[in-house]
Amino acid sequence: MGDLGGGSGRYFIATPLSYFWYPIGFTLPSIMSNPAITLSHISKVYANGTIALTDFNLDIGEGQFISLVGPSGCGKSTVLRMIAGLGKMSAGSIDWKLEPRKLAFVFQEAALMPWATVQDNVRLPLKLAGVSKRAASSVVAEAIALVGLQGFEGAYPRELSGGMKMRVSIARALVTQPEILLMDEPFGALDEMTRSQLNSDVLDLWLHKRWTVVFVTHNIYEAVYLSNRVIVMASRPGRVIADVAIAAPYPRTADFRSSDLYNTYCQKISHALAHVPPAAANL
């Protein structure tokens, strides 16, 4: 049993997924697309006086893969929580162009119910929506297959490795057919091998599903590899210091990680993080 957790990457082979992007071809999901969500002048001050976010503005385009990068305390997770409607904003507004708001959230930790099997964990959003077990079964099976966890339907979370738990978490996000996927440092606790495997799997899924993704990370390399747009943030108070478009075509292969273009973007972002302009004087 202990062996199940061994190498999650091995159980998930990218090839079954890869056929999804051949029909799509090498199209570049447009960067300048219709805005799906507009965040205007958002501020968040916590009860203890911490200014998590100040005057945050962001147009999230339909189909974009946006990463929020920054040091801890820059409010990047707060942005996600505000979009998800978890917690109140102190000021500002969020304008939704997409209705109904079909969004899914993937948390930093897998946040699985330890008493439920993989199947039951994945089915949870449908169960809460009142979908019967029978009606949900095919959607659940499809989601589990998409993240490469066939054969583990009956396993409990404690029998899975960290990477596999994240896959369950992603499968759970898939079952409601979301249009917007919010991911809060989902792979932060994983080892490098598992992380890069999951990164390319998430990209495959994104190309297949045409989601809008907002991805929070403190890892610059991950952000550049995944996104077509990287928002660089600074802390105290939380604010945007750079908005970098990553103009590299999809699908991005392992070669992209060693390309000059990739390195240029990484350097550009780390330079921005190292030379933070002072916050506006009126704060």
Partner 1 sequence: MNSRLKVPMLRQGLIRQLLSPDLLAPVLVGILMLGAWELGVRISGIPPYLLPGPILVWQTLIKDWGELFPSLLITVQITIVAFIAAVVSGLLVAILFAQSKWIERSFFPYAVILQTTPIVAIAPLIIIWVRQAVPGESSTFVSLVICAWLVAFFPILSNTILGLNSADHSLLNLFQLYRSSRWQTLIYLRLPSALPYFLGGLRISGGLALIGAVVAEFVAGTGGTQSGIAYQILISSFNLQIPRMFAALLMTTVLGVAIFAGLTLLSDTLLRNWHESAVKQEN
Q: Which residues bind to partner 1, rule: CB under 8 A?
A: 1-2, 81, 84-86, 103-105, 107-109, 111, 113-116, 124-125, 127-129, 151, 154-159, 176
Closer residue to partner 1, CB minimum distance, 29 or 125: 125
Which residue lies nearer to partner 1 by CB, 183 or 207? Answer: 183
Least Å from the CB of residue 111 to partner 1: 4
Nearer to partner 1 among residue 7 and residue 236 (C-beta): 7
DSSP state of 276: P
Q: Between residues 159 and 191, which has the closer beta carbon with respect to partner 1? A: 159
- Least gap, CB of 159 to partner 1 (angstroms): 7
- Cβ closer to partner 1: 89 or 207? 89
First to last CA, the chain: 55
Which letter does DSSP use for residue 24 in this model? H
Which CB atom, from 129 or from 193, has the smaller least distance to partner 1? 129
Distance of CA 11 to the CA centre of its chain: 22
Q: Which two tokens stand for residue 107?
A: 């948390």
Nearer to partner 1, 128 or 274 (CB): 128
- Minimum gap (Å) between residue 53 Cβ and partner 1: 18
**C-beta of 277: minimal distance to partner 1 in Å?**
33
Shortest Å, Cβ 61 to partner 1:
22
Shortest Cβ 87–partner 1 spacing (Å): 9
Task: Give me the least distance between CB of 123 and partner 1, in Å please.
Answer: 11
Residue 24 or 86 with smaller CB distance to partner 1: 86
Question: Partners of 213 in the beta sheet?
Answer: 65, 181
Name 274's Cβ contacts closer than 8 Å, sequence gap at least 6: none
Q: How many Å apart are CA 153 and CA 34, to the nearest integer?
A: 38
For residue 16, give every residue at least 6 positions away whose Cβ sits within 8 Å of its Cβ, in sequence order, or none.
Answer: 145, 148
Task: Spell out the residues 6+ positions from residue 63 whose beta carbon is closer than 8 angstroms to its own.
Answer: 29, 30, 33, 210, 211, 212
Q: How far is the CB of 267 from partner 1 (least distance, A)?
A: 34
**DSSP letter string, 171-236:** HHHHTT--SEEEEESTTTTS-HHHHHHHHHHHHHHHHHHT-EEEEEES-HHHHHHH-SEEEEEETT
- Ramachandran angles phi, psi of 9, nearest 5°: -60, -35
Q: Across-strand partners of 95?
A: 38
Nearest CA to 233 among 217, 221, 248, 249? 217
